[in-house]
Amino acid sequence: MSIELSQSALQAHFGAVCTAPIFLAHCDRAEPDMPLSDGESLAGEGMASEKRRAEYLLGRCALKAVLAGLGRDADTAAIRWPSPFCSLSHSHGHAVAVGLAGGQGIGIDLQLQKKPPFAVAERILTGATAAYWDGLPDADKAAALQRFWTVNEAVYKACPAPQPAYFRHYRMHAPAAMDGEVSIDGTDYRFRVHTAMLTDGFVSLALRL
Ligand SMILES: CC(C)(COP(=O)(O)OP(=O)(O)OC[C@H]1O[C@@H](n2cnc3c(N)ncnc32)[C@H](O)[C@@H]1OP(=O)(O)O)[C@@H](O)C(=O)NCCC(=O)NCCS
Q: How do residues 20-75 score in pLDDT, each as one tens digit?
A: 999 999 999 988 889 999 999 999 999 999 999 999 999 999 999 999 999 999 99
For residue 198, the model assigns a pLDDT of 98
For residue 101, the model assigns a pLDDT of 92
For residue 164, the model assigns a pLDDT of 94
> pLDDT tens-digit profile of 124-154?
999 999 999 999 999 999 999 999 999 999 9
Q: Is 105 in the pocket of ligand 1 (CB under 6 A)?
A: no
Report the alpha-carbon distance of residue 202 to residue 144 in Å, rounded: 10
* CA 77 to each of CA 37, 53, 60, 64, 104: distance values in angstroms, whole numbers, following the listed order: 8, 14, 9, 11, 20
Ligand 1 centre from 185 Cα, in Å? 21
For residue 157, the model assigns a pLDDT of 98
For residue 32, the model assigns a pLDDT of 83
Task: Tell me the mean pLDDT in the region 171-195.
Answer: 97
Ligand 1 centre from 10 Cα, in Å? 21
Q: How many residues appear in the chain?
A: 209
Report the alpha-carbon distance of residue 4 to residue 8 in Å, rounded: 9
Nearest to 124 by CA among 106, 146, 98: 146
Report the alpha-carbon distance of residue 112 to residue 108 in Å, rounded: 13
Q: Please say whether the beta carbons of 206 and 151 come within 8 A.
A: yes
Which of 83, 156, 204 is the best mutation target for the ligand 1 pocket, counting ligand atoms within 8 Å of the beta carbon and taking the most? 156
> HEC states along the chain?
CCECCCHHHHHHHHHHHCCCCEEEEEECCCCCCCCCCHHHHHHHHCCCCHHHHHHHHHHHHHHHHHHHHHCCCCCHHHCCCCCCCEEEEEECCEEEEEEECCCCCEEEEEEECCCCCHHHHHHHCCHHHHHHHHCCCHHHHHHHHHHHHHHHHHHHHHCCCCCCCCHHHEEECCCCCCEEEEEECCCCCEEEEEEEEECCEEEEEEEEC
Which of 55, 88, 108 is the best mutation target for the ligand 1 pocket, counting ligand atoms within 8 Å of the beta carbon and taking the most? 88
> pLDDT tens-digit profile of 79-121?
999 999 999 999 999 999 999 998 899 999 999 998 999 999 9
Domains of the chain: 7-208 (3.90.470.20)
- Is 1's pLDDT higher than 90? no
